Structure 1
Amino acid sequence: MSVQTVEVQTRMYLYDLMNAASEHGFKSDDIWELSMVTASGRSKLHKDYFPAVSIKVGPEMLLQVFHATQKGLKQSSYNESQLPTAKNILTDEINYLVAFNLKRPRG
């Protein structure tokens, strides 16, 4: 896995997030929540929130893309104990990063 691949994935995802925020009229206090989930978790978030923007990321890069996206969004660090481990990502088939806004439930 190359650092460049992580950077490219992150840049493309941040671009998609900024476009979605602009398109859906996010205000300055609207923030993206980031979540690493399985395919079923992704479906649930897309069903529960609009907009929800997801990207499929290989398990070997998921944590790095998560942290780089978090940094790109200028968000404070998540509690590491609440994040899945690299082993959990593989065994639980966690392969999506989903951004959503808690203030925008699908209604």
Structure 2
Amino acid sequence: MTINNINNNINKPQIDGQKLAQQQMQGQSADSKTAQVATQSSVLRQDSVSLTPSAQQLSQAQKKDVEAPVNQEKVDKLKKAITDGDYKINPDVLAQKIAKLESQIFGNGA
């Protein structure tokens, strides 16, 4: 069976339907082989993750923070002081504590 081009009466070579079917089958066969190879390679490949030492230290610090007991009385007292406007921040002490925390996290040795 042959298919004639009927678009705009342009003379193009006739396409043999059997050859077209064979080409499509070959393309599908190649696609399935490619899919099989891709599936096999994805099965063999294993993903992995590694954390930097800094990230590991931060993770450990977060775990300790979660496990730490909470003094609810102290928390309530601080909330009330903040709400009432009575809580005063000492910038020197705050700066020292921030520097100490950075030293612990990043190991800069302050």
TM-score by length of 2: 0.23
Higher relative contact order (CA closer than 8 Å, sequence separation 6+): 1
Q: Which has the higher helix share?
A: 2
TM-score by length of 1: 0.23
Q: Which has the higher strand share?
A: 1
